[in-house]
Structure 1
């Protein structure tokens, strides 16, 4: 195949992870034939998060029936899949539709400047240490939501005193040997929940040390109903039914938790107590100080987390860290310390599973006619376009459902806008909010979670509002309908090529 040496495209997609590959499929199937596009990928592989993270047991905490692409259904019976399987799935999907031929690897986007004079994006890209320039009519940012280069700072007192191995899951060395080691995993989120049973296979003992607990939902890899669908129905029908079943079940459970938090607490408490070994008390280790789904729900497939606790090779500790010593951890509460002697001394390794550093657009410096844009001061139009920034879409998925659902809602709406602009003979569109309306708008967060890593990112993420097209997205059903049939002119200003 002849190598693509162009530098000007109709659409440039940034990122070859699940958002970028999905966006590419929508561009090449829903925009007119002949629409040119390229994918700029800073790394040298397809897969994004799932290729970057190498820590033991990495998996999705969303089911693959909804996390997978709607145009290439996940056809395995297990709903929760490991990272390697997800990477293979993404790569195979890209190759199946020729999307992999559109990727420019080791092309890191540094700056993106919209120029009104020719109504195009001018992009500065670093490739193998040299800078190159690309231009495009549209920009589609499928870069995810966190910093690939720098993790969230772990605020652990005295961590510098530790003489053993310290590792962050985001940068897990593939050759790290932890056989026979005594390990403390600091954290209580999805990563910590995944690491505990995975590390226990080789480690002598693993302790999950949490400042405060998270809600944990145990799900079967495949339910009896899933198996029945696969047994009775042709694959083409079974995969569609499974996708909608998992989608509806997740939507129903989320709304149940938010509408009836006390009842949801009781349901989760009952499920947890049924699976906990008698040696592990429910209180305080599984009593979060918030209601279900105020933070993202953690998932463990087939109860592997509880099975690891029952094995005796893992344990859980709850308390605030006073300081880290040369070979252990001291808690602020002496009673909690006494209950957890394994963390006091003899610790060989500390894993700081304390979250990700949120970053919009992969850190790209965005400007309009040379004027820098600060996303933290802007509102988000219908969950995908930044106020005052023309012809650009930013993929921000859901916090209460599979990321890909939100990514596809974004791609569907993006392609519809591009087609509308072509039919109307306009060259650019920009989300516009008058100062008087912006000043009276109630400012709301883009990500509706109260997790620490989300709170720390309030200043770098765009805002959402309390009305009109500035309201945050919250439901795939509503967003899918809106992408297909909703108003796409409210809040947008259009400009024809002749006005350039």
Structure 2
């Protein structure tokens, strides 16, 4: 019997929502630390992978190294930057090697989760093949990510209806898209655009990256000399993986500190890297198209493996325009400068819409949850919300680093609850914290890309001091979360 065919109305210890990289990791940790627990993973899609399943545009790849984006318990054996297909295969191996497939119920889209204090349970409704299936569980582990897979963000520009070509979003890339001989304009300059453009430049007549403002890029070989040496010496894969994780983390932490301490020095280094990748004759392009107004790492820095984006520009297969859109016209896009970019296809790589708790209808004892009015405990649990944890990863470090930390924390919390003989835990502000300032989930001077500014109002607040700080700092979290005091009065047990 397939997991999705199992009967509903099931009572469990833990429900994990989402079978992407967070949910699969959570299931592995739960199985390792709590083999006695009854749990299931509810996944809306018909297969595993989350982002790596729903995003199928040409060239899709990670923008974090797989030594840290991969799990700490599963050695990565490939190049540092992996394709979407390689990541899917890696996740499939984790599922197969650990018997997780029997725990995952595919095609189960969770629509509501209601907490009942009377029976100390979450009551979850998931739609499967048009029918409502009901589950209950002691603990709810939200692992759906933080954006809407089925509803991408695309601004409405004047004149779009007059455009004679096609407009697509990378998040909804048609499988039968034919690019041969077509002039393509990609709107956006983030990691998606940097990934997509080199791939479609090989197929289309020409591709133009149209950006309103520049992005910082860094380039380098999609290889690591130390990893190659360790593998040549037949060092055990687990050792190589751990050594490379530590190296990558140390390098990333040092670079992040430099971005804060000496941002203008780092800016010039990044620009020099782009200048070298583009080659002679592109100095003006570097200053105009690759020099953002914000400081390095105030928004995400896109990694370009093997310089493929710059090679496409250098070879004339791609070009970059920095301007604003005035309107669409039948033959393409008219810019504020008056220039018209002719296009047969426009790709709006304009980002995504944020989603809090997967847009699940959550209620506590019959009252709808206003998630934005809660305060986050270590960015993991939330005031007034019992027996629930939500994985929200890092912007500057690999997402999976926090997914691993969070899964270990939830397992520790469940063990603590068992030892205490309690069945309910909920963060609660202590008397001296009642009037503590409420700060945004992520402060604007810390990290401020457009997608976050558009949706941060949906997310919980953070406080002024621990345990109410959401640091977005792996170096902090790796020390703080495993040692978080579960008996300091900030968690209420019943």
TM-score band, normalised by shorter chain: over 0.9
Instruction: Name the counterpart of 1:340.
Output: none
Instruction: After TM superposition, give the deviation of residue 482 of structure 1 in Å.
Output: 2.6
Residue 371 of structure 2 is aligned with which of 370, 375, 380?
375
Map 1:455-466 to 2 at 5 A. 455-466=453-464
TM (norm. structure 2) is 0.95
Specify the alignment match of 1:416 in structure 2.
Answer: 412
Q: Distance in 1 between matches of 2:159 and 2:374?
A: 38
Between the aligned partners of 2:153 and 2:477, the Cα distance in structure 1 is: 31
Identify the match of residue 442 of structure 2 among 436, 440, 446. 446
Q: Is the 8 A contact 1:213 1:318 kept in 2?
A: yes
Match of 2:53 in 1: 51
Partner of 2:334: 330
Structure 2 counterpart of 1:164? 165
Q: Which runs of 5+ in 2 are unaligned?
A: none
Q: TM-score, normalised by structure 1?
A: 0.94
Shift of 1:493: 3.6
Runs of 4+ in 1 over 4 A off after TM superposition: 1-4
1:368-404 Cα offsets, whole Å, 9 max, x none, are 0011111112111111112210000101000111000
| TM-superposed deviation, 1:85 | 0.6
Matches within 5 A, 1:281-296: 281-296=285-300
> C-alpha separation between the residues in 1 aligned to 2:478 and 2:47?
30
Q: CA deviation at 1:436?
A: 7.2
Shift of 1:219: 2.8
Structure 1: gaps (5+ residues): 338-342
In structure 2, the residue matched to 1:477 is 475
State the partner residue of 1:181: 182
1:355 to 329, 351, 354: 351
**In the alignment, which residue of structure 2 is the partner of 1:66?**
68
Report SS of the residue matched to 1:284: helix
- SS of the residue corresponding to residue 243 of structure 1 reads helix
Kindly indicate whether residue 8 of structure 2 is the aligned counterpart of residue 12 of structure 1. no
Query: Deviations 1:59-115 (Å, cap 9, x if unpaired)?
Result: 110000100011111112x10001011011101111110111100011111111110
Aligned ranges 1:380-395 → 2 under 5 Å? 380-395=376-391
Counterpart Cα distance in 2 of 1:275 and 1:431: 50
1:92 correspondence with 2:86: no
The reply on whether 1:24 has 2:27 as its aligned counterpart is yes
Give distance in 2, aligned partners of 1:397 and 1:363.
18
Asked if the contact 1:216/1:298 (under 8 Å) is kept, the reply is yes
Query: How many residues end up aligned between the 2 structures?
Result: 486
1:404 maps onto 2:400 in alignment: yes
Q: Secondary structure at the match of 2:136?
A: strand
Q: Is the 8 A contact 2:2 2:102 kept in 1?
A: no
**How far is 1:158 from its partner?**
2.6
Computed over aligned residues only, the root mean square deviation of the Cα atoms, in angstroms, reads: 1.7
Partner SS for 1:11: strand
2:440 & 2:431 partners in 1: Cα distance? 17
Decide whether the 8 Å contact of 2:426 with 2:492 is kept in 1.
Answer: yes
Taking structure 1 as reference, are residues 55 and 165 closer, same or farther at Cα in structure 2, changes over 3 Å only? same
Q: CA deviation at 1:135?
A: 0.1
- What SS class does the counterpart of residue 274 from structure 1 fall into? helix
